[in-house]
């Protein structure tokens, strides 16, 4: 089990050392190493069995239930500290591969077996997690069959990962391009500049506010309870403030939008907003603002602009962070003549079009993987019957 809360506190965190896992690291099948908090080697060693290593499996037993990942052999670190909401296990790898084990628990049957001892009273939690989990039945085909199954599934996940990295690069390109034009004014350096609320800007530009270039659609948001969603067909994404929470059988929006957190998770540690760039048909709960571009600005330009704008000073609420419409309107924007907007907009929109294409491809690949997964795990579909 992870350490008691009193054994590891925020005060223990340092800039580098042994990484401490949290829920964001347990998204997907294998350890997500995008970001960590750290403790000292001495502190980690004092926590004993709360340390995890390559080949271990980590499972959430409180909070976001159903999360289960393995630590791959090529992980960034050799040692990790699990949180108080997690437990870990070590497998006999002569009998079962960690990746095969984890992929099984991502099937509908596997999720059912994790959650069958869950309590929904108060904070969702697994009852007696380490003892009840030992009783869970797991299919164990021969290692050579497991390896062939994982070869197929990993090939799909590898394609998804390559696309994800390309999209990260596309996002960085869009941010660099927008900053060059609208913050550093590099294409206009040879021209005349004038003073403004934002400092010196090119002559002919003016300073506006967010809602001069963005339209907000908060009035048509509708919350859906978990009970509402229980018996729905899983067709359209249902977004919260920071992520896709579920899938439902109806939609409120159809198009391309930027979602920015309204309350709860509003800003990251660096002051940048939690945002999502979404398209197609979807539903949004009442914890996110929904924006589209206007007056020449595309939704993509709004998204990239906000992605490089520190909004920490606009967030209110001592207990729960909140970003109001009134405070969003305080975000200042350098507004060029329309001919400048018409030059930059296609460049940014093209980068986002590539991003949408790759994310749509990833959705298809993930859907294929999730369709194949239970059939391969159960033996219903033989590995030699698959062509990718």
Q: pLDDT digits over 121-140, tens only?
A: 667 888 888 888 888 899 89
- Higher per-residue confidence, 344 vs 223: 344
**Residue 341 binned pLDDT confidence (cut-offs 50, 70, 90):** very high
Task: Report residue 298's pLDDT band, with 50, 70 and 90 as the boundaries.
Answer: very high
Q: pLDDT at residue 172 above 90? A: yes
CB 46 within 8 A of CB 79: no
Segment 66-124, tens digit of pLDDT: 899 999 999 999 999 999 999 999 999 999 999 999 999 988 888 888 888 887 666 78
Read off the pTM: 0.81
Confidence category of residue 216, pLDDT binned at 50, 70, 90 = very high
Q: What was the pLDDT predicted at 388?
A: 58
**Confidence grade of residue 18 (pLDDT, cut at 50, 70, 90):** very high
114 closest CA partner among 100, 101, 97: 101
Q: What per-residue confidence (pLDDT) applies to 42?
A: 94
- The whole-number average pLDDT for the span 323-339 is 95
* Percent of the chain at pLDDT exceeding 70: 98
Mean pLDDT computed over 239-267: 89
């Amino acid at each position: 089990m992870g350490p008691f809360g009193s054994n590891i506190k925020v005060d223990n965190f340092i800039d580098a050392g042994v990484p401490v896992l949290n829920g964001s690291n347990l998204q997907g099948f294998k350890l997500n190493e995008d970001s960590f908090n750290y403790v000292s080697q001495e502190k980690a060693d004092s926590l004993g069995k709360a340390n995890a290593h390559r080949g271990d499996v980590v499972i959430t037993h409180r909070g976001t239930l159903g999360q289960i990942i393995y630590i791959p052999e090529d992980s960034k670190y050799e040692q990790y500290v699990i949180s108080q909401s997690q437990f870990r296990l070590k497998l006999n790898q002569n009998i079962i591969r960690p990746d095969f084990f984890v992929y099984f628990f991502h099937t509908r049957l596997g999720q059912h077996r994790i959650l069958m001892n869950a309590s929904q009273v108060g904070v969702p939690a697994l009852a007696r997690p380490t003892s009840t989990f030992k009783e869970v039945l797991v299919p164990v085909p021969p290692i050579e069959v497991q390896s062939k199954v994982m070869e197929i599934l990993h090939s799909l996940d590898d394609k998804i990962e390559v696309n994800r990295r390309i999209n990260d690069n596309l996002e960085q390109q869009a941010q660099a391009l927008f900053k060059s034009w609208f913050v550093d004014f590099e294409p206009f350096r040879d021209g005349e500049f004038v003073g403004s609320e934002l400092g010196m800007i090119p002559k002919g530009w003016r300073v506006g506010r967010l809602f001069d270039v963005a339209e907000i659609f908060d009035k048509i948001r509708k919350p859906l309870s978990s009970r509402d969603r229980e018996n729905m067909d899983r067709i359209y994404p249902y977004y919260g403030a920071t992520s896709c929470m579920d899938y439902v059988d109806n939609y409120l929006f159809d198009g391309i939008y930027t979602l920015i957190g309204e309350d709860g998770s509003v800003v990251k540690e660096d002051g940048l907003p939690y945002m999502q760039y979404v398209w197609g048909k979807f539903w949004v709960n009442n914890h996110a603002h929904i924006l589209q571009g206007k007056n020449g600005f595309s939704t993509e330009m709004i998204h990239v602009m906000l992605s490089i704008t520190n909004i920490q000073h606009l967030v209110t609420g001592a207990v729960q962070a909140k970003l109001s419409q009134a405070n969003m309107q305080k975000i200042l924007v350098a507004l060029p003549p329309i001919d400048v907007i018409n030059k930059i907009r296609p460049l940014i929109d093209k980068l986002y079009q590539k991003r949408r294409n790759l994310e749509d491809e990833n959705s298809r690949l993930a859907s294929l993987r999730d369709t194949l997964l239970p059939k391969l795990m159960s033996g219903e579909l033989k590995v030699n019957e698959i062509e990718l």
